[in-house]
Structure 1
């Protein structure tokens, strides 16, 4: 893997713990659970190293913060709104870019429900302030930013939000969030909002008229749209309303495991037909399968192969949705707020304490690449799914200041 320009920075080290902010003992970034690495031959090891060196590697969805060691303190930890980026673990992840979704569903500074406007800005601003005090992680606001991060041994940080709940009925708030650096947004999370319906709702009425306006505004601004947590009709309406490809940043195939958290074939296909990409997720107890009801790296990759066979290798990527700390423990703490029961589905499964092989950002992509190598995937296909497919979509969706337009398609249309 490409060695990153990590100089030992720790989150908020420019402040004095206990004086400037309340200090919490944080989990280990690595070594919290037994490490798992897919063994390779010497030749395969060299190939894996080269693939990381030569290609842009992007996580379409993750949370790069470090959880507190004592999860009974988690609510208090979140009320302070000061998440700590796992810089050391991130430096060992092999990533050149991460779509970081903060922890906005648990942004509870002013509310117990999360997703409030003030809390989102507080959460976002705090992370950006910390990033501004170091130089390994840089803001990824354009595709050129991502390429330059790779070239300079940095990691591009793309601020992302899993829902648009906080904009309420204020369309211009999308412009404000863009100004704060947000480049990817979901429509709804668990509950419905003014745009549409989330996966927890039993009755999905699809995008509202305001939701359609918001989708069109995101297209104009150059914000990538995510439907991972949206209900099925809301997802389809979003795909049909958007004039740009959209993302399913972190999900899997419902055909392999019956769960509202995963997407049915027709939505995955509709996303791909419009040029979009699905990122396969690994958050605990999501991408299980009928063949492998114990969640692990192989069940996760079964979802990848199913989607690749369904819509083609050009429309699949990875959004592991992992973090540094006890992920299963956090799910237990926030069971209702994070729609855990909806994610698990109705079938019996064997609960795990951690997802072996893909538990945290440090081991996720190294094992993904190693798995693909051992299964005989070509260099070209591996390059596509670890970042190339995402970059293709971003070239169409994001605003390009050099061409003064949104994406390559608009540039061709003008020509």
Structure 2
């Protein structure tokens, strides 16, 4: 592997002794943490403390998908905002990039929200700024299926971005909400990246070249994303990395591939860690997920506790510290600075 960070080539050779200090001092951002109200409460309640203990400094919590109405989402956001504001010693709701940095310095976990899909807008662009004001800092265009914006990645067809979708992206750019193309159909995502005037992300999408799955993306999608100034977050879901494999080595393989393809400045983390796998499987069955997606398996997930191992492994592979810091979180910080208002 040949990695460049800025104008300096990496220095090959293992450097594992630096990993603990590097991981502790780095800014670590996870761009996708499923946070829907399903499954065992005890597992849910332990998830964010586990992440914080594993060195995570910022999480984007998925509070809903295309299945929930705006009223449902407002109720969920109101509840979560109250809970986090009652625990200010541990959490900080993010409004600006500076809030993320302040949270790290203050020993808090920085929190923002995301939606996986745009059905809650119901064709009303005025709702974008409302959701942004409530802490929604990124939004997927679609969630697997077709909606008013375009086709999802599991749709039978591959229609492009709708007129509403074009106007939605313009409004998200204006408001400062990050356009997220994960779960979105190929043509819809490519056209979205053509019309945006701000960086776009695939918050949690692995390379289809490494593993053929509808949820993974093609090389030209990743390259187009990088061309906007955005990033692709690698996913720790076993069925998206291989034959249900969620080892640290397998996640590093996804990172290696993207670094070679689009450069280390355009790679991040969107682990998509599910705290209750059995409940998640039941939920996916209830929304009639496509059989070819292999969602009926007892899916393996990369665990938060593996993150220090990942930093160690990237160092051992010869990644420069600057590249590792970027992948762990600073690349997302750059995107957020460019987009958030």
* TM-score normalized with structure 2 length: 0.88
Change (3 A) 1:342 1:131: farther
Which residue is 2:16 aligned to?
A: 44
| 1:69-93 superposed Cα distances (whole Å, 9 cap, x missing partner) | 49xxxxxxxxxxxx75734323312
Match status 1:58 vs 2:29: yes
1:88 matched to 2:49? The reply is yes
After superposition, the CA RMSD in angstroms is: 2.5
Map of 2:131 onto structure 1: 177
Matching of residues 192-211 of structure 1 within 5 Å: 192-211=146-165
Checking the alignment, whether the CA contact within 8 Å between 1:295 and 1:352 is kept in structure 2 is no
C-alpha deviation, 1:68, in angstroms: 3.3
Equivalent position SS for 1:247: strand
- CA distance change for structure 1 residues 51 and 228 in 2, over 3 Å: closer, same or farther? same
Gaps of 5+ in 2: 1-13
TM-score, normalised relative to structure 1: 0.73
Consecutive unaligned residues in structure 1, runs of 5 or more: 1-40, 71-82, 106-112, 400-415
Name the CA shift for 1:304/1:340 in 2 (closer, same or farther; >3 Å).
Answer: farther
CA distance in 1: counterparts of 2:119 and 2:35, whole angstroms: 22
Partner of 2:320: 378
Say whether residues 1:339 and 2:285 are aligned partners.
no
- Kindly report which structure 2 residues correspond to 1:255-266, keeping only aligned pairs within 5 A, or say none: 255-266=209-220
How far 1:296 moved relative to its partner? Answer: 2.1
Residue 133 of structure 1 pairs with residue 83 of structure 2: no
Give 1:294 shift. 4.3
Q: Which residue of 2 aligns with 1:109?
A: none
Structure 1 stretches of 4+ with a deviation exceeding 6 A read none
Q: Deviations over 1:40-68 (max 9, x none)?
A: x9x835x2232133321111211357963
Distance 2:46 2:82 in 1: 11
Q: Distance in 2 between matches of 1:138 and 1:121?
A: 19
Work out the CA distance in 2 between the residues paired with 1:98 and 1:203: 33
Alignment match, 2:330: 388
Contact 1:66 1:84 in 2 (8 A): no
Could you tell me how far apart the structure 2 residues matched to 1:364 and 1:340 are? 29
- Rg larger in 1 or in 2? 1
Does the C-alpha gap of structure 1 residues 198 and 336 become closer, same or farther in structure 2, counting only changes over 3 Å?
A: farther
Number of the residue aligned with 1:324: 275
Q: Which structure is higher in helix share? A: 2
Superposition pairs for residues 216-235 of structure 1, below 5 Å?
216-235=170-189
User: What is the rounded CA distance, in whole Å, between the counterparts of 1:241 and 1:84 in structure 2?
Assistant: 40
Aligned-partner SS, 1:191? coil
Indicate which of 241, 245, 249 corresponds to 1:295. Answer: 245
Identify if the C-alpha distance between structure 1 residues 119 and 318 changes in structure 2 by more than 3 Å, giving closer, same or farther.
same
SS of structure 1 residue aligned to 2:204? strand
Contact 1:187 1:230 in 2 (8 A): yes
State the distance in 2 between where 1:87 and 1:61 align. Answer: 12
Q: Tell me if the contact between 1:158 and 1:183 (Cα under 8 Å) persists in the aligned partners.
A: yes
CA separation of 1:341 and 1:282: change in aligned 2, threshold 3 A: farther
Give the SS at the match of 1:251.
coil
Question: Do 1:190 and 1:338's aligned partners in 2 also have CA atoms closer than 8 Å?
Answer: no
User: How far 1:182 sits from its partner (Å)?
Assistant: 0.8
| Distance in structure 1 (CA, Å) of the matches to 2:53 and 2:28 | 13
Secondary structure of residue in 1 paired with 2:151 = coil
How many residues matched? Answer: 325
**1:336: how far off?**
5.3
